[in-house]
Chain A
């Protein structure tokens, strides 16, 4: 009895030993991703998701800055905001559409060139495309203001040469704003298209050539269809920031004729102090753009955009 007594506890130290060598029990291991996700998730929840909800609630409030705003569920804030500023909404979407189209037209050949003719210099050429990002966005736009200003290097030259009338100007026109938007966001178009093109298996093109497809036909039937996910990602990555931008409109545009919805939202918050109207406008903008974004995400997934966004 006494000799057998020490025996049963003997396996116990072994189990303890095994438990110690094992890093953690299985249920704790399952929780690891949640612990890792938690801090960043919380940050986004508190400073991104909740603010959007708060903004949604502010958008139906009434009152003024002096007496404070109260929740009255006044949904006509939305229709008021739309009828007062639909011109700027439509203008933002039109400018956004034109600038995105220009980015695509100008950018696709560049992406194609780098992907198929870049050779050993691919990353250097991409780096050149990304150079503007090393200069502050506001300075870049300001620099265009300076280049295109009435007594700047371009307009005064053109006037001196008599190519344009003496009252010709570029600044404060829709063309200046759209040009600035195209300039500032074209890298967001080039990168995802490049990524899609670069991934194309060159043997497909060889096969097409073997089957007597002309270069044009090979492009139309093989290269272009395979680059469509990149094109979509590029359109998304440019259209959203372009149509909600207001820096280009205020630095390169005029006082009224080129105002975009971002300018209105800014003015409502800081000049008119009409927070409900500003919130309603922001929400309409977000609804218009995000509906498009989420349809995109459902149809094509988020990988292309996320990958391109961080290159």
Chain B
């Protein structure tokens, strides 16, 4: 009797306490995560004159107008976009095949292929970059645009493969059997049944490959030679002061990424429904 009459209020009080502590904690972490992003966006509108874009000096849009005034930076951005585009296509194709094979078939060696993907994802970036550089140095391959692209395809195809594998595992295999029973060949089955079924997985894998590629600094820095990508340029500039154009480009990439992800989320939700 006494136990219940004292137990209830205590429990209720704790619940009330938990009701605001957890959300507060969560929103505080979200605020902390967004702070640098907000700073980046806001200081793209800063009317700064010096090289150091540190103090707020008034609102301006002219960094948006002069976005491409720094030719090295523009070249770097173009390189990054080209590399990311090639990487996305190649990694998506290679990764989708891998994912389909791992998600659909039981075959000898599938365990070791999964382990290879796991090692590729879990390996430290420095080691991936350094190992590839060791090979290029040993073979005397000049580093540049294509070595960066090769490296990017190498580290992003595993992510695509795993994404597609997960989607494949959730797909109804009887659809493919039905297609085959109705006389569809293996190629037709793949393109008319399998591919549409796993398309959301393929698309999110492609988005992931693009994001990983355009953002990569560490592996790129090892295999870039004299080619500069957007992250490499920003890193180099961080010692002397980052011009507001970087904030503007960062903002545009950010908005593009957010839009792409939201479109992806909406279309995949519609597909699932």
Chain A interface (Cβ within 8 Å of chain B)?
Answer: 21, 23-24, 30, 32-34, 36-37, 39-41, 43-44, 47-52, 54-55, 58, 106-107, 109-110, 112-114, 117, 123, 125, 127-129, 131-140, 142-147, 149, 151-152, 183, 186-187, 214-215, 236, 240-241, 243-247, 251, 261-262, 265-266, 269, 275, 278-279, 282-283, 285-286, 289-290, 293, 297, 302, 305-307, 309-310
In the complex, which residues 125-183 of chain B have their Cβ closer than 8 Å to any Cβ of chain A?
A: 125-128, 130-135, 137-138, 150-151, 153-154, 157-159, 161-163, 165-166, 180, 183
Q: Report yes or no: A113 in contact with B23, Cβ–Cβ below 8 A.
A: yes
For B234, the chain A residues whose CB sits under 8 A away are: 136, 138-139, 142
Report the interface size class on chain B.
35 or more
A145 touches B151 (CB 8 A): no
B11 touches A (CB below 8 Å): yes
- Whether B130 lies near A139 (C-beta < 8 A) is no
A112 to B204, CA, bound (A): 25
| B-side contacts of A129, CB under 8 Å | 29-30, 33
Whole-angstrom distance between the alpha carbons of A142 and B204 in the complex? 28
> B217 near A: Cβ within 8 Å?
yes
**Given known contacts A33-B110, A39-B97, A136 and B127 CB-to-CB distance under 8 angstroms:** no
B39 nearest CB neighbor, chain A only: A143
Q: How far is the CB of B162 from chain A (nearest CB, A)?
A: 5
Give chain A nearest CB distance to B272 CB in angstroms. Answer: 12
Tell me the minimal C-beta distance from B95 to chain A in angstroms: 6
Residues on B with beta carbons closer than 8 Å to the beta carbon of A24: 186
Q: Which residue of A lies closest to B157 (CB)?
A: A40
User: Nearest 8 CB-CB pairs, A to B?
Assistant: A244-B124, A143-B36, A36-B101, A134-B257, A33-B105, A51-B131, A40-B94, A40-B98
Q: Which of A36, A52, A309 has the largest count of B CB atoms less than 10 A from its CB?
A: A36
**Contact residue among A54, A152, A241, A285 (Cβ-Cβ distance under 8 Å from B134):** A54
Residue from the list B35, B165, B247, B265 in contact with A123, Cβ < 8 A: B265
Given A140-B37, A269-B133, A41 and B113 contact (CB-CB distance below 8 Å): yes
What separation, in Å, do the CA atoms of A56 and B25 have in the docked complex? Answer: 46
Question: Chain B contacts of A137 at CB under 8 A?
Answer: 215, 217, 231
Q: How far is the CA of A128 from the CA of B250 in the complex (A)?
A: 17
Query: Contacts A109-B26, A145-B238 known; A47 to B151 CB distance under 8 Å?
Result: yes
| Complexed CA–CA distance, A231 and B240 (Å) | 40
Decide yes or no whether B191 CB sits under 8 A from chain A: no
Would A289 and B124 count as touching, CB distance under 8 A? yes
Contacts of A262 in B (CB 8 A): 126, 218
Contact A48 B120, beta carbon cutoff 8 Å: yes
Q: A33-B107, A43-B157, A139-B246 are in contact. Are A55 and B265 (CB under 8 A)?
A: no
Chain A residues contacting B159 (CB-CB under 8 Å) are 309-310
B235–A51 CB distance below 8 A: no
Interface of A, secondary structure class, is helix
Q: Are the CB atoms of B185 and A290 closer together than 8 Å?
A: no
Docked Cα-Cα span, A125 to B124, in Å, equals: 29
A274 CB to closest chain B CB (Å) equals 12
Instruction: Give the complex CA separation of A39 and B157 in angstroms.
Output: 11
- By beta carbon, the residue of chain A nearest B246 is A139
Contact: B22 with A32, CB < 8 Å? Answer: no
Indicate whether A297 sits within 8 Å of B183 (C-beta atoms), given known contacts A37-B101, A50-B135, A244-B126.
Answer: no
> Are A110 and B97 touching (Cβ within 8 A)?
no
For the complex formed, measure the closest distance between the CB of B150 and the CB atoms of chain A, giving whole angstroms: 6
Pick the residue among B11, B97, B124, B127 that contacts A37 (CB under 8 A). B97
How distant is the Cα of A111 from the Cα of B162 in the complex, in angstroms?
Answer: 23
Is B263 an interface residue when CB atoms closer than 8 A count as contact? no
Neighbouring B residues of A186 by C-beta, 8 Å: 29, 33
Whether B118 lies near A302 (C-beta < 8 A) is yes
Tell whether A138 pairs with B235 under 8 Å between CB atoms, given A131-B34, A290-B119: yes
Interchain CA distance A243-B126 in the complex, whole Å:
10
Contact of B40 among A50, A125, A135, A244 (CB under 8 A): A135
Q: What is the minimal beta-carbon distance from B232 to any residue of chain A, in angstroms?
A: 8
A125 partner residues in chain B, CB cutoff 8 A: 26, 30
Task: Tell me the bound Cα distance from A48 to B94 in angstroms.
Answer: 15
The answer to whether A147 touches B39 (Cβ under 8 A) is yes
Chain A residues whose C-beta falls within 8 Å of the C-beta of B204 in the assembled complex? 310
In the bound complex, do residue A110 and residue B26 qualify as a contact, i.e. CB atoms below 8 Å apart? yes
